[in-house]
Amino acid sequence: MIKRIKSKFQSQDSKKISANFMYLSILQGMNLLLPLITFPYLVRVLGIEKFGLIMFAQAFIVYFSMLADYGFNLSGIREVSSNRNNKNKLIKIFSSIMIARFVLVLIGLIFLTIVVFSFEKFSQNWELYYLTFGIVIGTALFPTWFFQGMEKMKYITVLTVIAKLIFTLSIFIFVTDKNDYIYVPLINSLGFIFVGLISLYIIFKDFNMKFEFQKFKRIKLQFIKGWNIFVSKISINLYGATNTFILGIFTTDAIVGYYAIAEKVVRIICSIFAPFYQAIYPHVVGIVKKPKNEASVFLKRVFNYSLAISSVVFLFSIFLGEFLFLLVFEEEAINSINIFYILSPLIIIIPMASLFFNVILLSYKLDKYFSKLYILGGIINLLLIFILFQFLEEKVIAVSISLLITESIITLGAFLVILNKQIMTFRRIEKK
């Protein structure tokens, strides 16, 4: 099977893509395996309510991570990939993006302080939110966009795997009862910050990068380039983390916990596609400049494989879902099973959306469609939640249905844009 896939994607850059895919696959494998170890343990040790509280805090802090990331994690890849042989320009790109990110981190910290000490919902667990905010700092320190743009995914893999292993071991050592819940965000944040600092050392040492203060004009330019992606990320979170956040406001920590378990399982399954998409993105950025047919053929093959594999995984999830939930989470997560079944079609939809948005639309610099579709999705999701809350007693079911419908609509929208722009010419390829 692996040999057949390799032969299909044969090109002069195939070795580089394969190597990057291998490193990112290892990373994603750890992202799949380790949560399956830690999540059940945390649910059993902390109980569903404390677990739900941690998930609520993470959903809240996602907004600040989103602010710090801005659109740099994608626009930065494009910038670095296009200028990887120009060291002086790379230094300017690296420095201006890092400055911009830490300005945003500071703004986020100020806003967090205002919110935490203005609302009782947050002030009663203020230390939890500040400790969770450490993830934002670590994320800003770790320039994954630079490594991906340089197509050096091995650095991302090695550093992240080390951090995740330390996190996993620390959870089992320090989290032994309900009162230890505060250690979870602390350990997680320290892991992110550690990886971030080491990554910067590698960039300075192995890539001969250096930090230089940049003119406001250059920093402003990076904000402009990442704006459409940032807007789309805001919209993504209007039906991503926001759903968990809304549940935390209108329901109990326990219900948040049940929903978080089901959604995380779905997203963990979907994440198996991430290393492949991350590996091919810089390659696609390069081949879009070549004759149209080359990119079209390549993307059509990626689409076919992605759809086939996600469909198979979806069927397995349907048939084995309940058994695996009870096996992994035991009785604590029994209320998560029905939520999982509602969300399960996302196992097909989300990988397609990732391909359409994060690979195709960005590679063709169709950022405006990227943001417009996600803005539409965010609005639809909030409207659906409001409507469904009026008719459904179980708000967790309403949120789940809303997420499924919203993801379906925006994925279909992106596909229609791709067809309209004739990026993938299905008929031509099928005739061959």
Backbone angles phi, psi at 402, to 5 degrees: -60, -45
Does the pTM surpass 0.75? The reply is no
Q: What are the distances in angstroms from CA 280 to CA 32, 284, 355?
A: 20, 6, 10
pLDDT in tens, 366-383: 877 877 888 888 889 889
Confidence of residue 430 (pLDDT cuts 50, 70, 90): very low
Short-list 146, 139, 129, 140, CA closest to 81: 146
More confident residue, 311 or 267: 311
Q: What are the distances in angstroms from CA 172 to CA 38, 184, 193, 221?
A: 8, 10, 20, 45
If you write DSSP's letter for every residue of 361-374 in order, what string do you get? IHHTT-HHHHHHHH
Q: What are the distances in angstroms from CA 120 to CA 49, 176, 213, 351, 408?
A: 18, 28, 40, 39, 36
What does the mean pLDDT of the chain come to? 82
Q: How far apart are CA 192 and CA 169, in angstroms?
A: 15
Q: What is the pLDDT of residue 400?
A: 93
Backbone angles phi, psi at 15, to 5 degrees: -65, -40
Mean pLDDT within 338-367: 88
Q: What is the pLDDT of residue 300?
A: 86
Q: Please say if the pLDDT value at position 19 is more than 70.
A: no
Contact 129, 122 (CB under 8 A): yes
Short-list 151, 188, 136, CA closest to 22: 151
Contact 273, 251 (CB under 8 A): no
Neighbouring residues of 144: CB distance < 8 A, sequence distance ≥ 6: 73, 156
Q: How far apart are CA 34 and CA 38, in angstroms?
A: 6
Confidence of residue 222 (pLDDT cuts 50, 70, 90): confident
Q: How far apart are CA 413 and CA 430, in angstroms?
A: 23
More confident residue, 414 or 271: 414
Neighbouring residues of 54: CB distance < 8 A, sequence distance ≥ 6: 42, 46, 128, 181, 184, 185
pLDDT in tens, 303-335: 888 899 999 999 998 888 787 777 767 666 678
Q: What is the pLDDT of residue 408?
A: 94
Q: What are the distances in angstroms from CA 278 to CA 97, 181, 196, 414?
A: 20, 33, 19, 19
Q: What is the pLDDT of residue 3?
A: 54
pLDDT in tens, 142-189: 888 888 788 777 777 788 888 888 888 899 999 998 889 999 999 989
Q: Please say if the pLDDT value at position 336 is more than 60.
A: yes
**H/E stretch holding 241:** helix 241-250
Q: What are the distances in angstroms from CA 339 to CA 230, 236, 262, 343, 384?
A: 29, 20, 6, 6, 17
Instruction: Look up residue 76 and give its amino acid.
Output: G
- The total of structural domains in the chain comes to 1
With pLDDT > 90 as the criterion, what percentage of the chain qualifies? 24
Contact 131, 189 (CB under 8 A): yes
Q: Please say if the pLDDT value at position 289 is more than 90.
A: no
Instruction: Look up residue 298 and give its amino acid.
Output: F
- For residue 289, give its domain range: 2-431
Q: What is the pLDDT of residue 2?
A: 47
More confident residue, 331 or 67: 67
